[in-house]
Amino acid sequence: MNKAREGKMMKGKSGEIPQWRSLLSEHAKSVYADGAGVKTSSSDYEDLVHLMGPMAEEALRIMEAFASGARSADGVTGTGNEVPPEFDTRIAIILNGLAPETETHRKGDAEATSVIQQELWQLLYKVRESAELSYAREMELVELDRRILFLLRSQGALVPADISGSVGVDKAQVSRSVKRLLELKMVERDQIRAPVSLTRKGTNLADRLLRLAELRNRELTFDIGDEELAAFFAVIEKLLRRAVMLYEQERSLNQNDVKSLNPFKMDPDYDPDAGSPIVIERSRILAPLMTLSAYISRSGALTFKRLTNLSNFETWVLNEIALDTPIDWNTLVSRLDRDHSQAGRTVSALVERGLVERSGKPGRRHGRFRPTEEGQRLIEIIQEASRQRGAFLTAPLSVPERDQFAGTFEKVRRNAVVQLERERTFDELEQGRS
């Protein structure tokens, strides 16, 4: 492919589009505009064969058949016709079903990491809701405050930087949490950067909460043996190591104002925080999962903001709309696992930005939503970035490790659903008594 054509097809305002998609898309548009006699140039065909392997010829036939059918349905004749904007959206749907053989491994990585990313977030969302109901019977503390109490009880005094790395949140959030715990006389320290340790009051509360946490942990690990649990933690450690690398690399990319898709480098000699390894709290199954989720979310927020100027949640909403378009309101909200008001604000923002369009009866709850042409363009960038992030995260894992991790994760998820329903029932009973 010549340099001028490569620049035309690969560069966009917010990132890059895979070459094979660009080649097929342009060919389909040419067929729509000028008829089925249009042929790809020899250089473009060679590029497509290189990118897609044996699938190249079949992919071209599919796109030609689709474009010819669309041309006929629209009553288009002759040559030099204008390609309608909605044709891009229809092309994107066809392209999503075509995965070149050179990307088969990467696609598998992305599917494997769906557990690690979106499903991990949904699991933790359920656990957080049940935990708030359960721990509130002992004392009203925010989740981060409780996590720091647990960490200090199991690991002893830690400096704020170690706390930040272990819980996966930035130092500013840790400082605010430590300040709250200092005011409650739960922790103490000699000076601002000195190690933070529990007071007697903090130790007593941590012990009470840990007894409750142990019961909750037993429920979440029901039907998971010791060997299976050890293997689960081993995979989490590998994933966490990669997630930290992902976050550090993304911070570097943002500082350098890089707009292309993530050029991740698999450097075998790179060791994040080698002098100060992350402390993994193994007494509860959720602690390392929360830390892993935090690092993935932090790097993801930087990635998608850099490439699309969307927040993490906006990216998620736009992607869910694209996966089952047009999607109705109730289905969308149930998949997001958020309340209607937060989902509504985000969808409205995407509509205002011209990334999502609504159809159907008046009223948001009766509408159906689909991405616009610009929304679809950003979705392709998001999906490609997600594939690269997924491949990077799971690179150290063997296929058996991934399969076993997914199986154990499903058991934890199932137990979390049961736990949440029980806590909701207890809460309803208590409200009924009052």
Q: Output the pLDDT for position 391.
A: 79
* Residue 311: how many other CB atoms lie within 10 Å: 15
Residue 364 has pLDDT above 60, yes or no: no
* Separation CA 86–CA 160 (nearest Å): 53
Query: Which range scores top for mean pLDDT: 127-141, 322-336, 350-364, 370-384?
Result: 370-384
Contact 332, 369 (CB under 8 A): yes
Range of the domain at 156: 140-216
Of the residues 98, 128, 155, the one at which a domain ends: 98
Give pTM, 2 decimals. 0.56
* pLDDT band, residue 315 (cuts 50/70/90): confident
The pLDDT of residue 372 is 92
H helical segments located in 278-339: 286-308, 312-323, 329-336
- Taking only the tens place, the pLDDT of each residue in 16-58 is 446 777 888 888 888 888 887 777 777 777 777 777 665 677 6
- Both 133 and 144 in one domain: the answer is no
pLDDT value of residue 182: 93
pLDDT tier, 204 (very low <50, low <70, confident <90, very high otherwise): very high
Is 110 in the same domain as 234?
A: yes
94-108, 172-186, 193-207: least confident range:
94-108
Same-domain check for residues 195 and 331: no
Q: Are residues 150 and 208 in the same domain?
A: yes
357, β-bridge pairs: 370
Q: Within a 10 A sphere around the Cβ of 227, how many other Cβ atoms?
A: 8
Q: Do 201 and 289 fall within a single domain?
A: no
Task: Report which of 226, 186, 188 is spatially closest to residue 208, judged by C-alpha positions.
Answer: 186
Q: How confident is the model at residue 116 (pLDDT cuts 50, 70, 90)?
A: low
Query: Can you give the pLDDT at residue 143?
Result: 82
Q: Residue 91 is which amino acid? A: I
390: amino acid identity, one letter? G
The CATH number given to whatever domain includes residue 212 is: 1.10.10.10
With contact defined as beta carbons under 8 Å apart, do 162 and 168 qualify? no
Q: Does one domain contain both 337 and 359?
A: yes
Most confident of 115-129, 276-290, 381-395: 381-395
pLDDT digits (tens, 9 = 90+) for 232-279: 998 998 888 888 888 888 887 777 655 544 445 444 444 555 445 555
pLDDT band at 9 (very low <50, low <70, confident <90, very high): very low
Least confident range from 181-190, 201-210, 326-335: namely 326-335
Identify the domain boundary among 196, 216, 236: 216
Following CA atoms 322, 325, 327, 331 in sequence, which dihedral angle do they give, to the nearest 10 degrees? -60
Give yes or no: residues 117 and 255 share one domain.
yes
* Number of independent structural domains in the chain: 3
Measured between alpha carbons, how far is 416 from 405 in angstroms, rounded to an integer?
16
- 261 and 201 share one domain: no
Identify which of 323, 19, 254 has the alpha carbon closest to the alpha carbon of residue 331.
323
CB 180 within 8 A of CB 149: no
Angle at 279 (CA atoms; ends 147, 155), nearest 5 degrees: 65
Q: Nearest to residue 371, comparing CAs of 144, 16, 4, 89?
A: 89
Q: How confident is the model at residue 307 (pLDDT cuts 50, 70, 90)?
A: confident
Inform me whether the pLDDT recorded for 74 exceeds 70. Answer: yes
User: Is the alpha carbon torsion for 280, 286, 123, 223 positive or negative?
Assistant: positive
CA distance 337 to 188: 38
CB atoms within 10 A of CB 323: 12
187 and 55, same structural domain? no
CA dist 195 and 153 (Å) reads 13
> Are 429 and 303 in the same domain?
yes
Do 26 and 73 lie in one domain? The reply is yes
Contact call for residues 406 and 235 (beta carbons, < 8 A):
no
- Residue 186: band (very low, low, confident or very high) from pLDDT cuts 50, 70, 90: very high
Tell me the C-alpha distance between 359 and 209, whole Å: 49
| Peptide bond just before 54 cis, omega within 30 deg | no
- Buried (b) or exposed (e) across 361-397, using 16+ Cβ within 10 A? eeeeeebbbbbbeebbbbbbbbbbbbbbbbbbbbeeb
DSSP line for 99-125: --GGGHHHHHHHHHHHIIIIIHHHHHH
Q: Are residues 231 and 355 in the same domain?
A: yes
Compute the average pLDDT of residues 174-183.
92
Hey, what are 306's tokens? 């850099």
Q: Would you say 24 and 98 are in contact if contact means Cβ atoms under 8 Å apart?
A: yes
Structure confidence at residue 107 (pLDDT) = 41
